[in-house]
Structure 1
Amino acid sequence: MRNPENRRKRLREWFATRSIPAANKSYISQLLNGVAAFGEKTAINLEQTLGMPDGYLDTVEGASAFDESTQAVIKMMQSTDDEGRLRIKLGVTDILDQYELRKMRVERLRIADTVPAELLRGLAEIQDPDFPLALEAFLGSFNKVASVQKQK
C-alpha cells in the first residue's frame, strides 16, 4: 500500500527495535510527524539508506516482514515501558555482539587453517609479551584488506 500514513507506521515499527541515526534524526522526525512529504522517492531512499528490505515501507502488515522471533521482540517492546524497552534493546544488543564474536572466531579459525603448521608452532613458542597484541593488529589489518578486496 503506497500511502504516507502506512509509510509512517512502518517507519515507527522499524525504529521500535533500532536507534534513529543521529545524522537523520531531524528528517525522520519530520517524516514521522507528517511535516515532511513521504513520497515514493523518499521511501526508496530511506529503505536503501537504512538497510530495509525493498518495499518495506509500502507493505501493509507491520510485523509480517519479520521472522517469528523478531515479531516477539517487537511485541514485547510495544507492550512495555521505557525501562523495559531499554532492557530489551540491551539484551538484543548483547545477543548480536555475541553473534558477531562467533563470526569473528570462525573467520580467525579459517585464516589459521591456511597458515602452515610449522609457522603456527613457531609463533606459539615466541615469549615476547607484546607479540600477541602485534599479531592481533596484523591480523586485523589483514582482515580489513581482505574485506576491501571482496567488495571490489
Structure 2
Amino acid sequence: MKTNKKGITLIALVITIIILLILAAVAIQLALGENGLIGRAQSGQEKQSIAEAADKFKTAQAAAWADFILEGKTSDAVEKYVNALNAAITSITDPNIKGVTVGGAFGKNGTSGSYTLQSSTISLLFNGQVKGSISMDTEGKVTVSLN
C-alpha cells in the first residue's frame, strides 16, 4: 500500500503560526511602544501645536507693539497694548489651536489715565502640561520660550 500524502504537516503549521505570532508582537511593539509610531506622532502634534501658538502670538504681539510705540507709550496705549496681548493669548488657545491652553494673563498697574505695564509671565500648556512661557517686562518687551 502506497501512502503518498501531499500537504502541510502539523509541525509545519505550528512553526508557521509561531513565526506569525512573533512578527505580530514585533509589529505591535513598533507601533505602540514608548518610542513607537503612535508616540512619535503625538509628540510631533504637540510640538507643532505649541510652535504654531507661539508664532501666532508673536505675529499679533508685533502688531500690538508697533501701535504701542506709535502712540508714545501713553496710559491709553498701555491699556490697548495689554488688551491686544490678552486677545492674542485667547486666539491661540483651544479650540483655535487644538490642545493648547494658557495659565495667566498680562496685566497693568495703576488707574485709568495713569496705567503702567506690569511684569507678567504666562504658561503655555499642551494637554495640561507646561510646554513654554510668554513673559513681558515693565517696558512691554515680550519673550517667548519653549521647553
- For the aligned pair, the TM-score class normalised by the smaller chain equals under 0.3
Structure ranking higher in strand proportion: 2
Q: Which has the higher contact order (CA 8 A, sep 6+)?
A: 1
TM-score, structure 1 as length reference: 0.27
Q: Which has the larger radius of gyration?
A: 2
